[in-house]
């Protein structure tokens, strides 16, 4: 039964993809926004999480301002996710990209392998474009639907990346590739096993992968992220993050301090462009708390 459902989902996806590709690109992005807003209205748990996150991060903002940011964030994510359907075509058009800080990447990649941190932010999949010049190893969560998972994997084979599926062996695999001298790129902004940090004034847990790799192999750490522009072009930003390697600290302490530094930089970026970040992720585990409060009313 499950196999049949997966096949049906895949058939619907391919039909929807075919329909989208018949439309002009501007119309495709518009569809992405509309589908995202529909999701915001229909999926209550994600809407509650989004609003709770925003209220916690920006207590000074009004309900109206919070709702506006939430909807704009959904639109951004809708365009980013739907845009993966024609990502190869999008990346081939150099006019779609405005790059800030490429000289940082050129400088450090010319000296040796680099560790990249990235974010669920703006047109995030467009970061894959830079595999054309600088190949890297990255990690992606395996899709439950095996047909969709195969499609995504096949669709990325033309890119100059090594894509690892997240599993219990992922950390070991990343160390193996790092030892071979490969560039590593990892999403580092969502909640995952790692170290306790302060993010928007509240404690949460952040992954330590990029900090661990940078310190263990003495590599530069570069934060890369993308913002969507009004005309659906992408501005790509690169920023060097100073790795804290104090000999008076233990390795674990230096990993923690470097991770906190990275998270603080991300917080500043999100504050500047709050509508570009994925607020629907339960970053601080607020959903259960807010849901209980709502039931009591």
Which pLDDT score, from 0 to 100, does residue 165 have? 86
Per-residue model confidence (pLDDT) at position 202 = 95
Which residues of the chain are under the pLDDT cut of 50? Answer: none
**Which H, E and C letters describe the chain, residue by residue?**
CHHHHHHHHHHHHHHHHHHHHCCCHHHHHHHHHHHHHHHHHHCHHHHHHHHHHHHHHCCCCCHHHHHHHHHHHHHHHHHHHHHHHHHHHHHHCHHHEEEECHHHHHHHHHHCCCEEEECCECCHHHHHHHHCCCCEEEEECCCCCHHHHHHHHHHCCCCCEEEEECCCCHHHHHHHHHHCCCEEEEECCCCCCEEEEEECCEEEEEECHHHHHHHHCCCCEEEEEEEECCCCCEEEEEEEECCCCCCCCCHHHHHHHHHHHHHHHHHHHHHHCHHHECCCCCCCCCHHHHHHHHHHC
pLDDT in tens, 117-175: 999 999 998 888 888 889 999 998 888 888 888 887 777 767 788 889 888 899 999 99
Q: 19 CB contacts (<8 Å, ≥6 apart)? A: none
pLDDT at residue number 4? 85
Please name which of 157, 267, 163 lies closest in space to residue 223, comparing C-alpha atoms.
Answer: 267
Predicted local confidence at residue 295, as pLDDT = 64
Q: What local confidence, expressed as pLDDT, does residue 261 receive?
A: 98
Rounded to whole angstroms, how far apart are CA atoms 245 and 104? 21
CA 281 from chain centre, in angstroms, equals 11
Q: How far apart are CA 228 and CA 111, in angstroms?
A: 31
Structure tokens at 133: 């010049």
Counting Cα atoms < 13 Å in the Cβ hemisphere of 64 gives 0
Residue 183: predicted pLDDT: 97
pTM across the whole model: 0.93
Rounded Cα distance between 67 and 189, Å, is 22
pLDDT for the residue 297 = 58
């Amino acid at each position: 039964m499950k196999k049949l459902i997966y096949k049906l989902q895949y058939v619907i996806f391919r039909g929807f993809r075919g329909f989208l590709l018949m439309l002009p690109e501007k119309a495709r992005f518009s569809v992405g926004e509309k589908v995202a807003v529909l999701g915001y209205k229909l999926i209550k748990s994600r809407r509650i999480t989004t609003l709770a996150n925003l209220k916690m991060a920006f207590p000074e903002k009004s309900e109206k301002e919070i709702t506006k940011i939430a909807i704009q964030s959904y639109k951004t994510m809708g365009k980013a996710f739907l845009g993966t359907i024609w990502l190869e075509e999008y990346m081939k058009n150099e006019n779609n990209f405005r790059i800030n800080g490429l000289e940082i990447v050129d400088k450090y990649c010319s000296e040796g392998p680099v560790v990249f941190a990235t974010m669920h932010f703006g047109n995030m999949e467009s970061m894959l474009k830079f595999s054309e010049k600088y190949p890297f190893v990255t990690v992606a969560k395996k899709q439950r639907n095996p047909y969709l998972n195969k499609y995504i994997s096949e669709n990325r084979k033309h890119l100059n990346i090594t894509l690892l599926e997240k599993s219990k062996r992922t950390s070991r695999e990343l160390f193996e590739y790092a030892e071979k001298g490969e560039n590593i790129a990892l999403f580092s902004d969502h909640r995952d096993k790692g170290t306790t940090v302060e993010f928007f004034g509240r404690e949460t847990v952040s992954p330590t992968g990029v900090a661990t790799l940078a310190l263990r192999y003495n590599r530069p750490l570069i934060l890369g992220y993308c913002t969507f522009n009004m005309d659906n072009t992408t501005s790509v930003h690169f920023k060097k993050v100073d790795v804290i390697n104090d000999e008076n600290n233990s390795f674990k302490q230096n990993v923690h301090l470097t991770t906190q530094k990275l998270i603080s930089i991300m917080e500043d970026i999100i504050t500047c462009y709050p509508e570009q970040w994925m607020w629907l992720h339960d970053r601080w585990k607020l959903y259960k708390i807010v849901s209980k409060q709502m039931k009591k009313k």
